[in-house]
Amino acid sequence: MPAPTLTPPPQEQRPTDPGRTACFAVLAEPDPASLPRVLELFAKRGLVPSSVQSRLFEPDETLHVDVQVPTLTRDESDYIARCLRAIPLVRQVLTSERHRALAEPQALIA
């Protein structure tokens, strides 16, 4: 009996916004499960953040996690923010966005 051949799953097609980077600022409980749960929402969508920073602030006992993900559409980043807010260990989620500056037109040399 021949061995079955495995083929990779088809590439998922999702809308993107090439000039937009979604930024998430998450304030969470200082719990070992907080950071993995935040990052899981991006990983299960096949998204690789361009930046992840995490800091534990002792005075207020809060874990601060900043995540930036390029090419997310507004609808997708709004959905991820709602999912982050539903995590029991998360206290607050703030979102913002950055846009790539348009290139200056080149001056013609006569």
Instruction: Write out the chain's pLDDT in tens, 110 residues.
Output: 777 777 766 655 778 888 899 999 999 999 999 999 999 999 999 999 999 999 999 888 999 999 999 999 999 999 999 999 999 999 999 999 999 875 555 555 55
Q: What is the pLDDT of residue 13?
A: 75
Residue 96 CB-density burial (10 A; 0-12 exposed, 13-18 middle, 19+ buried) = exposed
**CB-CB contact of 80 with 24 (8 Å):** yes
**What's the CATH fold of domain 32-99?**
Alpha-Beta Plaits (3.30.70)
pTM: predicted TM-score of the whole model, two decimal places: 0.78
Q: What is the pLDDT of residue 16?
A: 81
